[in-house]
């Protein structure tokens, strides 16, 4: 394939620079009347950029992701502003829901629970295409689904179209979910702990697949993990979340080697390395 000419955004005059793909300002989420789960976070993601969102359990990472897709339960109170490609989109509006599955897609931690166990995988992937394009014929949807399954390296995709989720391995099920998420060519993929439920070798394969697809489609990605080591393999920039706030943000290289916030340092200290003394417990996170 001929190589594409590259555009260096930083060398363009400021006025010609594009707005970020997604910007959120002062996002706040409260469930019932409890304390805020997310307390005023702001972040921006550029086209084709991978932003890692890291933080301990309960810090508000998934709530933030679900808010971006307007998937929070009706009991949640949500405030803040969201801009998509420079235009404001009112939270909870029809325009916000319109982004879901078309412009922004998501993959979840547990591939088995995210798939319908009694529906063939081919039909589930085809329905993801039909959901945003009702004029597709079933034949067109089927061939798009097979192409999507092939693009995530499901072997013999056409023959396996009518198989059910339990007939696939955990890694293959995550590949199927990635195929579903990407079938409508979204610009932003939110990956919420996409490898946490998988064993280490499969984890590495799924990370490699996500990296390949991200580069191939110049896809922006919000990659959520509690694991800085995983984040470091995919993200160009990292935001560190704690107790519903972003405590530090910066280039992945800087966050991973010279974090300024005490909490990030403690997260880093908890990442085991080849030199970690495994006879001692990992560093305390608090
Ligand atoms: N549907 C809900 N109803 C009530 N509280 C909720 C709901 N979802 C999340 N919360 C609360 O919001 C806070 C943030 O939860 P969230 O799931 O965003 O954490 P997280 O950072 O994704 O954690 P983990 O790493 O364990 O996935 C937690 O205190 C959680 O209990
Ligand atoms: Mg979560």
Which pLDDT tens digit goes with each residue over 141-196?
Answer: 999 999 999 999 999 999 999 999 999 999 999 999 999 999 999 999 999 999 98
Short-list 237, 179, 184, 251, CA closest to 213: 179
Whether 132 is in a domain gets the answer yes
User: 282 pLDDT exceeds 80?
Assistant: no
CB 131 within 8 A of CB 157: no
Whether 145 is in a domain gets the answer yes
Residue 1: per-residue pLDDT: 47
Whether 39 is in a domain gets the answer no
Count of other CB atoms within 10 angstroms of residue 52? 27
Ligand 1: nearest atom to the Cα of 32: 4
Domain count within the chain? 1
Whether 164 is in a domain gets the answer yes
Whether 83 is in a domain gets the answer no
- Two tokens at 161? 């179209």
Calculate how far, in angstroms, residue 54's C-alpha sits from the geometric centre of ligand 1.
Answer: 14
Q: How confident is the model at residue 265 (pLDDT cuts 50, 70, 90)?
A: confident
Whether 113 is in a domain gets the answer yes
Helices (H), the chain: 61-68, 94-99, 111-114, 121-132, 138-151, 170-182, 200-216, 228-234, 252-257, 262-269
Calculate how far, in angstroms, residue 155's C-alpha sits from the geometric centre of ligand 2.
Answer: 30
**What whole-number percentage of the chain has pLDDT above 70?**
89
Calculate how far, in angstroms, residue 2's C-alpha sits from the geometric centre of ligand 2.
Answer: 40
Short-list 122, 42, 112, CA closest to 79: 42
Q: How confident is the model at residue 14 (pLDDT cuts 50, 70, 90)?
A: low
Whether 243 is in a domain gets the answer no
Whether 138 is in a domain gets the answer yes
Which pLDDT tens digit goes with each residue over 15-39?
Answer: 567 899 999 999 999 998 778 999 9
CB 10 within 8 A of CB 56: no
Residue 224: per-residue pLDDT: 97
Domain limits for position 165: 109-185
Nearest residue (by CA) to ligand 1, atom 12, is 37
Mean pLDDT of 43-67: 96
- Report how far residue 171's alpha carbon sits from residue 201's, in angstroms, rounded to the nearest whole number: 10
- Report how far residue 57's alpha carbon sits from residue 243's, in angstroms, rounded to the nearest whole number: 9
Which pLDDT tens digit goes with each residue over 107-150?
Answer: 988 877 889 999 999 999 999 999 988 899 999 999 999 999 99
């Amino acid at each position: 394939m001929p190589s594409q000419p590259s555009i260096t955004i930083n060398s363009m005059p400021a006025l010609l620079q594009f707005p970020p793909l997604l910007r959120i300002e002062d996002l706040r989420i409260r469930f019932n009347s409890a304390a805020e789960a997310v307390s005023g976070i702001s972040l921006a993601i550029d086209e084709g950029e991978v932003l890692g969102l890291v933080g301990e359990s309960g810090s508000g990472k998934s709530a933030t992701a679900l808010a971006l897709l307007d998937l929070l339960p009706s009991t949640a109170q949500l405030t803040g502003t969201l801009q998509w490609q420079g235009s404001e989109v009112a939270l909870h509006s029809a325009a916000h829901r319109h982004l879901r599955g078309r412009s922004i897609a998501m993959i979840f931690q547990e591939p088995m629970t995210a798939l319908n166990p009694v529906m063939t995988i081919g039909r589930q992937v085809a329905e993801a295409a039909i959901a945003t394009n009702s004029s597709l014929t079933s034949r067109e949807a089927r061939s798009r689904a097979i192409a999507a399954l092939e693009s995530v390296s499901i072997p013999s995709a056409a023959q396996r179209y009518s198989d059910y989720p339990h007939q696939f391995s955990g890694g293959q099920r995550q590949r199927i979910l990635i195929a579903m998420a990407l079938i409508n060519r979204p610009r932003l993929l939110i990956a919420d702990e996409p490898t946490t439920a998988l064993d280490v070798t499969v984890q590495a394969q799924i990370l490699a697949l996500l990296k390949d697809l991200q580069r191939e489609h110049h896809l922006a990605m919000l990659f959520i993990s509690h694991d800085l080591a995983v984040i470091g393999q995919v993200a160009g920039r990292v935001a560190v979340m704690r107790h519903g706030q972003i405590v530090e943000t910066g280039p992945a290289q800087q966050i991973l080697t010279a974090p300024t916030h005490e909490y990030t340092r403690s997260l880093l200290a908890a990442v085991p390395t080849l030199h970690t003394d495994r006879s001692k417990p990992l560093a305390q996170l608090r």
